[in-house]
């Protein structure tokens, strides 16, 4: 059996950490990326095939060349706000390109597919923690594009030999403990790197979006999951499919709600500096609390988060911020 795995979007944040986990588990991650948002420096654990995930001719060639045992599909745009302003980009890149990619998988008999889905597919929760049976009613084109991805997988796998695991990430955060790879987004919109950059003086301050939520300290609660834990979850999902597991959808979270204020306070403690904070209004579309029931991941994949304490997330993210400066990226 081949040990190659196609990692589409493998030059991105979660994709590159998954490549590291795949390599450590004995697989060869073959990255497919157009480098529109991914980074060539992040491709360190296997070869790069540069091209478009939605280009059927290119993808057919790549599959025939590498004969992979499975495919992990990360390539997508993932800015909620941008998706509201430019929904066509999200339908084109997250839906149309994914349909083309899945069609090639079906035609080429590449039948083990792992898909990056999101807790954004749930919309505004009616109850937390969220389990996988919670209604899916997205409130953004981004969330809808991920839900359509799940639906395509459902119907295509119903009609063809393809099997899939859709992994619904909560808030990916932290960085590789060895400092080889980490988070670099342009623009950066995620709380953890913004808080660290504010503590280091790279940004003047961090704006807290809303202090009047019905949570213990009034700021939003999220489920921060370390990107290294996400990497090992993809390896577990791949093994599950290789061993013949049935198609399924699984939350990847730590199960712990953490508020914006807790992130800021812990960052100040870990870094040993005050974080300049500006308290602002709510950001449109932010639900007060979003956190996972992670039990299904344990039952089906035997996976649990191991690196997702807030302290470890902030320590590795902080170290990565320093490393980035050294590397000039």
Interacting residues toward ligand UFG by CB under 6 A: 78, 80, 118-120, 142, 171, 189-191, 194, 206-209, 220, 222, 260, 283, 286, 290
Q: How far is the CB of 191 from ligand UFG (least distance, A)?
A: 4
**CA dist., res. 169 & res. 53, Å (int):** 21
Handedness of CA 165, 225, 48, 27 (dihedral sign): negative
Task: Assess whether 142 carries a catalytic annotation.
Answer: yes
Using DSSP's 3-state secondary structure scheme, residue 292 falls into strand
- Minimum CB separation of residue 323 from ligand UFG in Å reads 21
Is the distance from CB of 197 to CB of 203 less than 8 angstroms? yes
Q: What's the closest the beta carbon of residue 121 comes to ligand UFG, in angstroms? A: 9
For ligand UFG, give the closer residue by CB, 245 or 289: 289
For residue 306, CA distances in Å to 91, 229, 253, 303 come to 35, 7, 11, 9
CA–CA dist 294, 275 (Å, integer)? 31
Which one is catalytic: 90, 142, 291, 318? 142
Q: Which residues are bridge partners to 172 per DSSP?
A: 225
Q: Is the dihedral of CA 238, 240, 246, 248 positive or negative?
A: negative
Calculate ∠ Cα 135-138-144, nearest 5°: 120
Q: Would you list the DSSP string of 107-142? A: HTT--EEEEEEEGGGG-S-SSSSBPTTS----SSHH
Write out the DSSP string of 158-191: HHSS-EEEEEEE-EEE---TTSS-----SS---H
Nearer to ligand UFG, 106 or 137 (CB): 137
CB of 156 to ligand UFG, least distance (A): 23
Minimum Å distance from CB 47 to ligand UFG? 28
Q: Is 80:187 a contact under the CB 8 Å cutoff? A: no
Active site residues: 142
């Amino acid at each position: 059996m081949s040990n190659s795995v196609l990692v589409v979007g493998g030059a991105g944040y979660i994709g590159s950490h998954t490549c590291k986990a795949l390599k450590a588990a004995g697989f060869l991650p073959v990255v497919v990326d157009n480098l529109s948002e991914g980074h060539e420096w992040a491709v360190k654990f296997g070869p790069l095939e540069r091209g478009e995930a939605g280009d059927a001719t290119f993808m057919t060639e790549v599959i025939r060349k590498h004969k992979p045992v499975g495919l992990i599909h990360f390539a997508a745009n993932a800015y909620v706000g941008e998706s509201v302003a430019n929904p066509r980009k999200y339908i084109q890149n997250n839906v149309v390109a994914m349909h083309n990619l899945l069609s090639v998988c079906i035609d080429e008999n590449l039948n083990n597919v792992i898909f990056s889905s999101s807790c954004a597919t749930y919309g505004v929760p009616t109850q937390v923690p969220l389990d996988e049976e919670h209604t899916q009613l997205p409130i953004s084109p981004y969330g809808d594009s991920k839900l359509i991805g799940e639906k395509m997988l459902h119907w295509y796998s119903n009609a063809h030999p393809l099997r899939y695991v859709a992994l619904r990430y909560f808030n990916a955060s932290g960085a590789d403990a060895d400092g080889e790879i980490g988070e670099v987004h342009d623009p950066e919109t995620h709380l953890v790197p913004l808080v660290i950059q504010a503590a280091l003086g790279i940004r003047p301050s961090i704006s807290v979006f809303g202090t009047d939520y019905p949570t213990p300290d009034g700021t939003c609660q999220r489920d921060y999951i370390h990107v290294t834990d996400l990497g090992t979850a993809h390896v577990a999902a791949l093994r599950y499919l290789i061993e013949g597991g049935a198609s399924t959808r699984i939350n990847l979270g730590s199960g712990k709600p953490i508020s914006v204020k807790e992130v800021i306070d812990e960052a100040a403690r870990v870094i040993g500096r005050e974080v300049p904070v500006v308290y602002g209004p709510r950001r449109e579309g932010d639900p007060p609390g979003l956190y996972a029931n992670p039990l299904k991941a344990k039952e089906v994949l035997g996976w649990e988060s191991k690196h997702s304490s807030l302290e470890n997330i902030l320590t590795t993210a902080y170290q990565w911020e320093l490393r980035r400066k050294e590397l000039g990226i």
